[in-house]
Chains A and B, each alone.
Chain A
């Protein structure tokens, strides 16, 4: 009599078989989940995208630094070409991808090494969810004159000049008129990436920053270069 014919062995094999099946099923499920998870990180769909992941990419890649946290952009004036509003972009996805890879104007190119097509698809999905708000709507009602006072008393002029003209010596960039939307302005002031000291909400409120921003917006564009003979010799 072989051991295989033993009922207890048959039962034991049945139990083992059951657990193997269960285990295999779990592996299949986990593998599928893992595949889905990776797919979400790399691609959340060829055309739909994941807005939540898109928001992370949007911020990690610093898109908000220029276009604003709501993609609102800022209109240009004079030599300042501004930053395009990208909320609810009207571009098709392929055109959007093409523009990010080979931008026109001052936007730096974002190559495939830095951000994948799938991730950009997620960003695209995010942009579709954003309402096309204007800078004014994101701004707290502000007082331009008070903004000018704050610009001086809070020391912004020290590096950026009284009219926000900037200085290569101090490293203070040109601010007037601003070339980024208010949300990006506030974001940078709170957590600057360069040498600029951080201004926390404790030091300067959102309302005050909005007033400073409005002051900067009120600065008229400079005279055209060709009209200044002293700068053409």
Chain B
């Protein structure tokens, strides 16, 4: 196997042969067909930038091959790159094809057998990265993205930013042609860039431009490791087209460094002990969790900590952290508990300040704490380990009393142990009473949510509560996975559904960039496919129209996914924003839909989806028609295909 790991480091430059030099040498040996492969050592590649023989340059200029020139090669740099990718366990490459990585593309599908990784055809680079985003949150590891030079990386940019803000690993390889003399005019000049990674550097964790195959191997392994070390983020490798396409000796043994992922950083033992002391002594401790559960193993740890303390848990929903129907889950009345807390522990809390302050958006923007005076704030978050300046996703500075720059999930075992040591037996009855109070409050919250859902129950357009209740009714007995965000449907799934498995909810986009929903859902469904899970996506209309082609990708690759359109026929957030301005200025308060509505004509999402190869029906605006339509679509999905049901809904 060419991906065989050898202990001896090969001489890098000797194993690389400039494509044209190789061809010339191969031509020389072509007269003897049985001749052994050209040994790299006998034909050292010229250094980059060395002057090429005039005849070769001339051939290049006219584009006509010499009669003596060999036009084929058995093994290229891109083959080796695929060997490297395979060692990283990357199962899929999501990509919109581009010539700057044609070598890699061909090596994946032919040399690599189009399996581990398999090439997933995407119709937009934002879809490629969005799919990688959703995939990683289910699979717990990155998939690969190939993106083409200037145009592909720029198309990918917004999705990369979302993944960066959501602390999700994405493994991007961008094609580029570094050497200007090797670029075919005119397109390759337009698609090449001096510093390709600069486009994404502000919101990737690491990037590299390897100039040799051995360096590519090292950088590729390093990139994977960096991406997977909390705080996890996208990484970017630039694969020079020459490096991809230059032949290498078929028997060249290229070394691929081994990969050992870094252990996530745990909180300082002294700080953990102090946090435990504060929590154990608290009258009303509250745990605010956001991306606290990095993996499925994080959920039982959070449950254990909460139960040990009998503390209220407020879930901000960055991930599935805590079972929605656990008696200590107080998310529905979170502000009430936060206002009553004397100690608050934030775990991977993206916006601590915003969680403990209210902000009023009137002519004069004001804020005030919602915590009571003297409340102590503790933070455990890996985000404190990595900062960049330009993009402001790090949120407002929060004045915490105890801060641990550490991975929350990795710190939980020691924190739980420390809390157990700190809790005095005399407090047992007080803790039981606190737990009973919280359990009763949660039941009351559930009842209130259900009563709230009765309002507009029979409305047309269909209420988001009705949509979610109907959907839940049909999937609750399946092994389901909600692969979309829920904020745009007023969070009804988190209020009404019993969510107790990690993969049943994957949080939101991170950067709040629209266009995330559809591709991330398809990517998550791709990860769910091998587990036979039923993937369900509540899809906003405006979001889908950023790059609807990802539905075709789902159809083409037979990715089972039920997409239920939350079709409110507008960029509704912006409708409200314009309304605020019109009200503030006391003018044109009936014109907020200009520039924000997606109607006249309304988009027929069923027809759109059908055109992209999906089973689809709708639009449905009578709630009585909803259940049968969902049932029919689910039957399709259970057969392994994607399906879409378009529903005209209330705004939120």
B587 within 8 A of partner (CB)? yes
Chain A contacts of B362 at CB under 8 A?
A: 195, 197-198
Known contacts A197-B583, A200-B586, A203-B586; is A161 also within 8 Å of B456 by CB?
yes
A117 within 8 A of partner (CB)? no
Q: Mark A198-227, 1 if CB is under 8 A from B, else 0.
A: 111011100000000000000000111100
Q: Mark B476-501, 1 if CB is under 8 A from A, else 0.
A: 10000000000111110000100000
Partner of B589, one of A79, A166, A203: A203
Q: Is the CB of A225 within 8 A of B455?
A: no
Q: Mark B454-482, 1 if CB is under 8 A from A, else 0.
A: 11111101011100011011001000000
Chain B residue nearest to A152 in the complex (CB):
B590
> Interface on chain A toward B: helix, strand, loop, or mixed SS?
loop
Known contacts A158-B572, A165-B455, A200-B586; is A232 also within 8 Å of B450 by CB?
yes
Chain A contacts of B476 at CB under 8 A?
A: 233
Chain A residue nearest to B576 in the complex (CB):
A158
A104 within 8 A of partner (CB)? no
Q: Is the CB of A159 within 8 A of B463?
A: no
List the one stretch of A2-10, A140-148, A167-175 in contact with chain B.
A167-175
Partner of B455, one of A154, A159, A163, A198: A163
B580 within 8 A of partner (CB)? yes
Chain A residue nearest to B498 in the complex (CB):
A233
Chain A contacts of B458 at CB under 8 A?
A: 223
Q: Is the CB of B575 within 8 A of A223?
A: no
Chain A residue nearest to B460 in the complex (CB):
A162
B454 to chain A, nearest CB (A): 4
Chain B contacts of A154 at CB under 8 A?
A: 589-590
Q: Is the CB of A166 within 8 A of B473?
A: no
Chain B contacts of A168 at CB under 8 A?
A: 490-491
Q: Number of contacting residues on B, CB 8 A?
A: 45
Q: Number of contacting residues on A, CB 8 A?
A: 37
Known contacts A158-B575, A224-B454; is A163 also within 8 Å of B586 by CB?
no
Q: Is the CB of B575 within 8 A of A155?
A: yes
Known contacts A170-B576, A230-B473, A233-B476; is A165 also within 8 Å of B459 by CB?
yes
Chain A contacts of B447 at CB under 8 A?
A: 225
B276 to chain A, nearest CB (A): 34
B592 within 8 A of partner (CB)? yes
Partner of A203, one of B473, B572, B587: B587
A209 to chain B, nearest CB (A): 12
B530 within 8 A of partner (CB)? no
Known contacts A158-B575, A203-B589; is A223 also within 8 Å of B457 by CB?
yes
Chain B residue nearest to A155 in the complex (CB):
B579
Chain A contacts of B364 at CB under 8 A?
A: none
Q: Is the CB of B450 within 8 A of A195?
A: no
Partner of B459, one of A163, A170, A198: A163
Q: Is the CB of B576 within 8 A of A153?
A: no
Q: Mark B345-373, 1 if CB is under 8 A from A, else 0.
A: 00000000000000011100000000000
Chain B contacts of A195 at CB under 8 A?
A: 360-362
Measured in the bound complex, the distance between the Cα atoms of B457 and A228 in whole Å is 9
Of A157, A222, A223, A230, chain B has the most CB atoms within 10 Å of the CB of A230
A194 within 8 A of partner (CB)? yes
Q: Is the CB of B589 within 8 A of A199?
A: yes
Chain B residue nearest to A161 in the complex (CB):
B650
Docked complex: A115-164 residues within 8 A CB-CB of B: 153-155, 157-159, 161-164
Q: Mark A67-106, 1 if CB is under 8 A from B, else 0.
A: 0000000000001000000000000000000000000000
Known contacts A155-B589, A195-B360, A224-B454; is A165 also within 8 Å of B650 by CB?
yes
Chain B contacts of A163 at CB under 8 A?
A: 455-456, 459, 463
Q: Is the CB of A162 within 8 A of B461?
A: yes
Known contacts A165-B455, A195-B361, A222-B455; is A158 also within 8 Å of B473 by CB?
no
Q: Is the CB of B650 within 8 A of A223?
A: no
B596 to chain A, nearest CB (A): 10
Measured in the bound complex, the distance between the Cα atoms of B465 and A154 in whole Å is 24
Partner of A162, one of B459, B472, B473, B586: B459
B582 to chain A, nearest CB (A): 8
Q: Is the CB of B586 within 8 A of A169?
A: no
Q: Mark B583-598, 1 if CB is under 8 A from A, else 0.
A: 1101101101000000
Chain B contacts of A198 at CB under 8 A?
A: 362, 583-584
B629 within 8 A of partner (CB)? no
Partner of B450, one of A159, A164, A199, A225: A225
B630 to chain A, nearest CB (A): 12
Partner of B456, one of A155, A162, A202: A162
Chain A residue nearest to B332 in the complex (CB):
A168
Measured in the bound complex, the distance between the Cα atoms of B454 and A190 in whole Å is 29
Q: Is the CB of B473 within 8 A of A228?
A: no
Of A153, A161, A195, chain B has the most CB atoms within 10 Å of the CB of A161
Chain B residue nearest to A177 in the complex (CB):
B455
B599 within 8 A of partner (CB)? no
Docked complex: B545-601 residues within 8 A CB-CB of A: 572, 575-576, 579-580, 582-584, 586-587, 589-590, 592
Partner of A155, one of B452, B472, B592, B650: B592
Q: Is the CB of B650 within 8 A of A79?
A: no
Measured in the bound complex, the distance between the Cα atoms of B362 and A58 in whole Å is 25
A1 within 8 A of partner (CB)? no
Q: Is the CB of B490 within 8 A of A167?
A: yes
A54 to chain B, nearest CB (A): 29
Chain A residue nearest to B590 in the complex (CB):
A153
B282 within 8 A of partner (CB)? no
Chain A contacts of B470 at CB under 8 A?
A: 230
Measured in the bound complex, the distance between the Cα atoms of B353 and A158 in whole Å is 28
A27 to chain B, nearest CB (A): 42
A176 within 8 A of partner (CB)? yes
B580 to chain A, nearest CB (A): 4
Q: Is the CB of B652 within 8 A of A167?
A: yes
Q: Is the CB of B651 within 8 A of A165?
A: no
Chain B contacts of A225 at CB under 8 A?
A: 447, 450-451, 454
Q: Is the CB of A197 within 8 A of B580?
A: yes
Partner of B454, one of A162, A170, A223: A223
A46 within 8 A of partner (CB)? no
Q: Is the CB of B456 within 8 A of A165?
A: yes
B612 within 8 A of partner (CB)? no
Measured in the bound complex, the distance between the Cα atoms of B452 and A216 in whole Å is 16
Chain A contacts of B580 at CB under 8 A?
A: 197
Q: Is the CB of A162 within 8 A of B589?
A: no
Q: Is the CB of A231 within 8 A of B454?
A: yes
By Cβ-Cβ distance, the 3 closest A-B pairs, closest first, are: A197-B583, A165-B455, A222-B454
In addition to A162-B459, A230-B472, 9 A-B residue pairs with Cβ atoms within 8 Å of each other are A155-B582, A158-B579, A161-B459, A162-B461, A167-B652, A170-B651, A197-B579, A203-B583, A203-B586
A-B contact pairs, 24 of them (CB 8 A): A155-B576, A155-B590, A161-B455, A161-B456, A161-B651, A162-B650, A165-B459, A166-B452, A167-B464, A167-B490, A168-B490, A170-B490, A174-B455, A195-B360, A195-B362, A197-B362, A203-B589, A223-B458, A228-B453, A230-B472, A230-B473, A231-B453, A231-B496, A233-B473
Binding site for B on A (CB under 8 A): 79, 153-155, 157-159, 161-170, 174, 176, 194-195, 197-200, 202-204, 222-225, 228, 230-233
